[in-house]
Structure 1
Amino acid sequence: MSSLTLLITISVVILTAVCIAFGVALRYARHAHRLAERESLASEQRLSALLAHDKQILVEIDEAGLVLGRFGTRSAGWEEGQIDGANILELVHPDDRCKVKKSIAAGRQGGSRPTALETRGLQSDGTYRWYETSTSNFLGDSGDQRLYVVSRDIEDRKRSELALQESERRYRLMVDQSPLGVLLVDQNMDIAFANSAYADLVGAPSVEDLNARNVWSSSVLTSEQSLDAISRVASGESVRTDFFFTSQYEKPVEASAYISPLQDEHGAVIGGQILLQDVSQSRRLEEQLRHAQKMRAVGQLAGGIAHDFNNYLTVILASADSILERSEPDKELHQAGREIVDVAERCAVLTESLLAFSRRRVARPEEIDLDQTVEGLEPMIRRLLGESIKVEHVKSGENTTIWFDPALMEQVILNLAMNAADAMTQGDRLTLEVRGGANFTRRDALASGALELIVRDTGCGMDPETLDRACEPFFTTKSEGHGTGLGLSTVYGIVEQAGGAVELRSEVGQGTSFHIFLPKGKEGPAPASKPTSDKSPAETGHERILLVEDESTLRNLTHRILVRAGYSVIEASDGQHALDVYRGLESPPDLVLSDIVMPRLSGADLAHALRAEKPDLPILFMSGYYSSHSMKVKALPPNVEVLAKPFSVRKLRDSVRKTLDASVATA
């Protein structure tokens, strides 16, 4: 074989070997590539499964924020390749885009240190879910900067957090707007929580402005009672108690408290809860109610005493009049009778004051102008107080017309002025002011508007104890022998009987002011009819009179007086007895002379029953007091006179004669 042939054969063998080796290498390379692809796919599938299991999404973005790769997006409903090339900010809630943009920028500048935040990510159905997102930067194959954005689904946790936050918000809102002061303290009595009502209670502008952050150093827990309550709570007991303390504004506060322990899971006391309610106003109202009830009870007692006393005074006065009529003026018996009359009349003034206080005085209201009444009394008040005390009258400038007994209104003003005079010295001032349209809501009758009479002095004022008893009958701060203690009680009774109210305000060294509230615009009952002539009629007669009086002594005396005057008298011991007697008569009497307050049937009820049978029957009442507002009886019928007890013999005969003559004149 030639060398050339050998060379060619060797070359062919080598080339064949090279081709075989290349084919083998190519097949191996292809196999390795397929294995790598399968491994990569498996890794991607494992990563996607892992991310899906943890509800996480991994997104690779470039510097522009465009999505280059993504794993786990199926949990958000996105299909393969659906968000490739999208801007990452388009997959975030509009309200969160700003903070995501800042996070991406921080991630690019922070090396491999991840930053995390909570955002809302877009789902394929257009809804959003909460994710906890972190970013981390790295370099791509070509050296460009890229970011991994890892988002973990926290929707369930976020909903729980938001629900808890909302629950806490509602609870805090409820507690903070509660009218009760709420205080939570730890074992050292340091304040862990306080609401705004507690701050208001202790006089702080806000919770942050509380002077004391520890309850022991506050003004609330200072009394032995509060210390005892806290010690009981520390032992696990719940306590109800009352606290008396002074607020940061030096305001006295009375609070009702409920204190309960806060315990851990083992039952150990780790703090306490204190609920405080300001009861200062309710306590004051309760005290006002007790005072009003006391005054009403005293008034009922005083009225009852005055009623009985007036009956006795009537007997004394009428008997003394009989002595005067039957004795010579220069005789000792006549002088004794005169002294009895004088003493009885002075006693009548006292009973009149008691009746005014008890709101049972016979009143004859009419339309009067309150400003004009004050103006008319001003000269008298100036004379009574003297030149050393200044008197000022402040007029309302509005309509000040009221329905009131003018004599009683004058008595009210003069009593208040004289009371003020006793408290003032030289240089002080007394102001009488009338205000129209005063808003007084303590009583329904005055809720629609009232006139307010203010009598204000700059005198020495009163302490709380004196203020509380000022309107009680027979209470006086004057020395013995000076004053009866009935001046202010008379004012109270007169005003209350008229449907008004009295408020008294005073401080030691600051003077005193009386506020008299009177209803306006509504007329009261018509005043009793007045005689048509001032000329005294004859005091004798021959008519028949039905006398109705439950007090036997007074009934017997009245009987004798009328019989001596020539009248025929039929007696009845009460209203029901009188009605039975009347219906048994062959002809009606010419006059019914009756008491008002009687057992079984009152005089007013008797009068209505008699007028139903004989409308023109003349009726004359005699009573120590009468008020349809203060007694559970009917109002008196029209066209009747009331003869006030105690009365004299002449007054009785005169009233009987006038009533009889008036009935004849109108017949």
Structure 2
Amino acid sequence: MSKGTILAVDDEPDILIALEDLFEDEYRVLTTSKPVEALEILAAEPDIAVIVSDQRMPGMTGDAMLAQARGLHDAQAILLTGYADMSAVIAALNQGGITGYATKPWDADLLRGVVRQAYERHCLGRDLATERALLMGLLDQSEDAIAFKDADGRFVRLNARKAETLGRSVAECLGRTEDALRAEAGGDADDASSEADAAAVAAGQPTDTLLVTGERGLERWRHVVRVPIRAASGAVAHLATIERDITEQKSLEARLRQSDKMQALGTLAGGIAHDFNNLLTAILGSLELATPKIADQPRVLRLVTNATQAAQRGATLTKRLLGFSRSRDLRPRAVDLNAVIAGMAELLRGSLGGLVTLRLDLDPAAPAACVDADQLELAVLNLCINGRDAMPEGGCITVSTRTVALRDDPDLADGDYAVITVTDTGTGIPPAILQRVCEPFFTTKALGQGTGLGLAMVFGLAQQSAGRLDLDSEVGTGTRVELLLPLTRMETQGDVAPEASPPVAVQPARILVVDDDAEVRHVTASFLNAFGYAESEAADGPSAVTLMERDSFDLVVVDLAMPGMTGVEFAEIVRARWAEVPVLIVTGHAEALPIPPDLPVLHKPFESGDLAAEISRLLAPAA
């Protein structure tokens, strides 16, 4: 450890030598016989701890030199003087110019003691200054709200960020409690914080708590660490609190959790859709096969027709479920908005429940808009469900369409736009929340009741479709949401095609049906038999390969997702060994496995006409 430094100032060289001999074992000693030079040394040597100076010196007295030294340095000052100069010593002491004195001739031990005490005071002062600078730097630069309170909860130190949370300046907070400051501002006492402070003081141990304030949807999260500080007696005399606003962190965590749930839900949706499509293929196919056999039984035919329509609605729902699970770019095209909304009416009524009435107000003159049809259906469904949730005691949701011509709009290009409006008679949205409702993952619903993605998805659809989403809400009255989409022309339709005749085989052919689902396999084979083809069945890829090794086939219809060997893998084997045999892939979930673009695909559930058309097309080259 390096020695401390002292500066000796005296106009007599012998005195300087004596002082240097007295202190050189304990200190680094600098000497000068000139007061002016002493001031220069002090300006150049920041580590000097103690100045020992004579009083009577030519040109400048010791007390005058030490008074100037205080403006340059924080060193402790000791004055050496004779009894005749005691009045100057007393004046210097009273003015704070010196911290001690010694008379000439000095007692060596006494002078060593005075210098040692001065050196220790200097070290203590510098340590306290360092601690203060560190503390003030921490308080002033920290992003956290930091405060020190006494045992009664009064502020003794705090930084500007903590004062800002109370709406006051630092000076206005000192000596006051948080509850008193909040009461003066007209706010409620923070009982949770007060109780946590008291608990930390009583326990005498550091604690950390998580506090949530604000109404649902506008919550602020604070992580507060409380550290009791004990006095020399061992009792808790002060409490340090460090508050960190973790609202953004909590928001990011919620978004990550929600993103994970949405990814899992999308995977689940795809799996469910695949199973449902298999079931619906079997149901719809069986009903289609049974319909001609009961043509002379009107009552039974009506029941079968009802079942067919219900299964077709199930197929539409499954298609929407698959659309939800897919991650793909938008595919905008000309869409008849009225037809889309009218086609969703039954789905919407089923989703809204018995307490909510759905009313459609569709402008017959409303032309088509350029938009992704699947995403538009999801958008309308989301908006209606949001309206339903805003009416827990029931109400009315109105979905309407109209056209509007925009000119000089700040956001949209000049032109004609279709407007889909969804209006509810619900509770409405407060202005503070209305500004954030389109943020991804922002929701005011209870945990597990909302994803916070509905309006964000609709907003994204509007932006990507070169349109706009407008929201207008009044608390206690309801909410109106308008989706503006650019108009386009529907392709002109030719004459209505004549009613299709039952499909028949275009040429004799042997077709192999490969599917692990026995019901779907049976329906597909029955369709082929009804067309006039010779059909064979296999429950999996390996058994199908065995059949092809034994018999010849003109075409293979194979399911995509099968255990052991997928449809694509089976198709690769067929192409390698029987290149002349075309392969048709049927699937209930095309995204489950990658399918080469040159392989034809038929989606489940399919009608017999769809299957017949694909087979005719694939067999045509052979003909």
Same fold by TM-score, threshold 0.5 exceeded? yes
Counterpart for residue 153 of structure 2: 189
For 2:600 and 2:378, the matched residues in 1 are separated by: 25
For 1:649 and 1:359, the matched residues in 2 are separated by: 27
Counterpart for residue 285 of structure 2: 318
Question: Could you tell me whether the CA contact under 8 Å between 2:554 and 2:582 is conserved in 1?
Answer: yes
1:217 to 156, 163, 180: 180
Q: CA deviation at 1:254?
A: 1.7
2:126 to 159, 162, 171: 162
Question: Could you tell me whether the CA contact under 8 Å between 1:416 and 1:455 is conserved in 2?
Answer: no
Cα distance change on mapping 1:356 and 1:228 into 2, 3 Å: same
Counterpart for residue 266 of structure 1: 233
Question: Could you tell me whether the CA contact under 8 Å between 2:147 and 2:158 is conserved in 1?
Answer: yes
Does 222-231 or 650-659 show the bigger shift? 222-231
Question: Could you tell me whether the CA contact under 8 Å between 2:555 and 2:582 is conserved in 1?
Answer: yes
For 1:505 and 1:76, the matched residues in 2 are separated by: 86
Counterpart for residue 24 of structure 2: none
Question: Could you tell me whether the CA contact under 8 Å between 1:320 and 1:341 is conserved in 2?
Answer: yes
For 1:70 and 1:603, the matched residues in 2 are separated by: 109
- Cα deviation 1:399-427 (Å, max 9, x = unaligned): xxxxx995435545666788899478999
1:119 to 69, 81, 92: 69
Report the secondary structure of 2:619's partner residue: helix
2:77 to 132, 139, 156: 132
Q: Is 1:582 equivalent to 2:527 in the alignment?
A: no
**Length-normalised TM-score, structure 2:** 0.59
For 1:186 and 1:430, the matched residues in 2 are separated by: 67
Counterpart for residue 101 of structure 1: none
For 1:660 and 1:405, the matched residues in 2 are separated by: 36
2:538 to 550, 554, 572: 572
Counterpart for residue 585 of structure 2: 621
For 1:69 and 1:245, the matched residues in 2 are separated by: 74
- Cα deviation 1:574-628 (Å, max 9, x = unaligned): xxx314531563267443322233334443454456556667753322223232x
Q: Is 1:640 equivalent to 2:599 in the alignment?
A: yes
Q: Is 1:542 equivalent to 2:489 in the alignment?
A: no
Question: Could you tell me whether the CA contact under 8 Å between 2:228 and 2:239 is conserved in 1?
Answer: yes
Counterpart for residue 40 of structure 2: 93
Q: CA deviation at 1:57?
A: 4.3
Larger Rg: 1
Question: Could you tell me whether the CA contact under 8 Å between 2:150 and 2:238 is conserved in 1?
Answer: yes
Counterpart for residue 525 of structure 2: 559
Counterpart for residue 356 of structure 1: 323
Q: CA deviation at 1:187?
A: 0.7
Counterpart for residue 105 of structure 2: none
Cα distance change on mapping 1:179 and 1:406 into 2, 3 Å: same
1:256 to 212, 215, 223: 223
Question: Could you tell me whether the CA contact under 8 Å between 1:260 and 1:274 is conserved in 2?
Answer: yes
For 2:248 and 2:522, the matched residues in 1 are separated by: 56
Counterpart for residue 27 of structure 1: none
Q: CA deviation at 1:189?
A: 0.3
For 2:341 and 2:521, the matched residues in 1 are separated by: 47
What's the % identity of the aligned pairs? Answer: 20
Aligned 1:35-184 pairs, distance under 5 A: 57=8, 59=10, 71-72=15-16, 75=19, 88-93=35-40, 117=67, 119=69, 130=75, 132=77, 158=122, 161-174=125-138, 176-184=140-148
Cα distance change on mapping 1:602 and 1:585 into 2, 3 Å: closer
For 1:156 and 1:548, the matched residues in 2 are separated by: 95
Question: Could you tell me whether the CA contact under 8 Å between 2:383 and 2:454 is conserved in 1?
Answer: no
- Cα deviation 1:187-232 (Å, max 9, x = unaligned): 11011222345446x2658645769941333569956544443333
Q: CA deviation at 1:246?
A: 5.5
Question: Could you tell me whether the CA contact under 8 Å between 2:541 and 2:566 is conserved in 1?
Answer: no
Q: CA deviation at 1:433?
A: 10
Aligned AA for 2:251?
A: R
Cα distance change on mapping 1:618 and 1:76 into 2, 3 Å: farther
For 1:650 and 1:472, the matched residues in 2 are separated by: 47
Does 593-602 or 260-269 show the bigger shift? 593-602
- Cα deviation 1:153-201 (Å, max 9, x = unaligned): 766754564355335423543454444433221111011222345446x
Report the secondary structure of 1:243's partner residue: strand
Question: Could you tell me whether the CA contact under 8 Å between 1:430 and 1:458 is conserved in 2?
Answer: no
Aligned AA for 1:188?
A: D
Counterpart for residue 345 of structure 1: 312
Q: CA deviation at 1:299?
A: 4.5
1:651 to 604, 610, 618: 610
Question: Could you tell me whether the CA contact under 8 Å between 2:362 and 2:401 is conserved in 1?
Answer: no
Report the secondary structure of 1:267's partner residue: coil
Question: Could you tell me whether the CA contact under 8 Å between 1:115 and 1:134 is conserved in 2?
Answer: no
Report the secondary structure of 2:513's partner residue: strand
For 2:569 and 2:429, the matched residues in 1 are separated by: 46
For 1:300 and 1:164, the matched residues in 2 are separated by: 63
Aligned AA for 1:593?
A: V
Q: Is 1:240 equivalent to 2:204 in the alignment?
A: no
Q: Is 1:308 equivalent to 2:253 in the alignment?
A: no
For 2:336 and 2:421, the matched residues in 1 are separated by: 16
For 1:651 and 1:257, the matched residues in 2 are separated by: 65
Q: CA deviation at 1:243?
A: 1.6
Question: Could you tell me whether the CA contact under 8 Å between 1:415 and 1:488 is conserved in 2?
Answer: no
Question: Could you tell me whether the CA contact under 8 Å between 1:357 and 1:490 is conserved in 2?
Answer: no
For 1:208 and 1:616, the matched residues in 2 are separated by: 91
Question: Could you tell me whether the CA contact under 8 Å between 2:154 and 2:174 is conserved in 1?
Answer: no
Aligned AA for 1:354?
A: L
For 2:546 and 2:155, the matched residues in 1 are separated by: 83
Report the secondary structure of 2:69's partner residue: strand
Does 333-342 or 230-239 show the bigger shift? 333-342
For 1:381 and 1:316, the matched residues in 2 are separated by: 25
Report the secondary structure of 1:636's partner residue: coil
Structure 2: state its 5+ residue gaps: 22-29, 45-53, 86-91, 103-113, 343-359, 388-396, 414-418, 485-499
For 1:347 and 1:490, the matched residues in 2 are separated by: 27
Aligned AA for 2:149?
A: V
**Length-normalised TM-score, structure 1:** 0.56
Counterpart for residue 247 of structure 2: 280
Question: Could you tell me whether the CA contact under 8 Å between 2:163 and 2:173 is conserved in 1?
Answer: yes
Cα distance change on mapping 1:270 and 1:646 into 2, 3 Å: same
Structure 1: state its 5+ residue gaps: 1-53, 60-66, 98-103, 123-127, 141-146, 394-403, 437-453, 477-486, 517-533
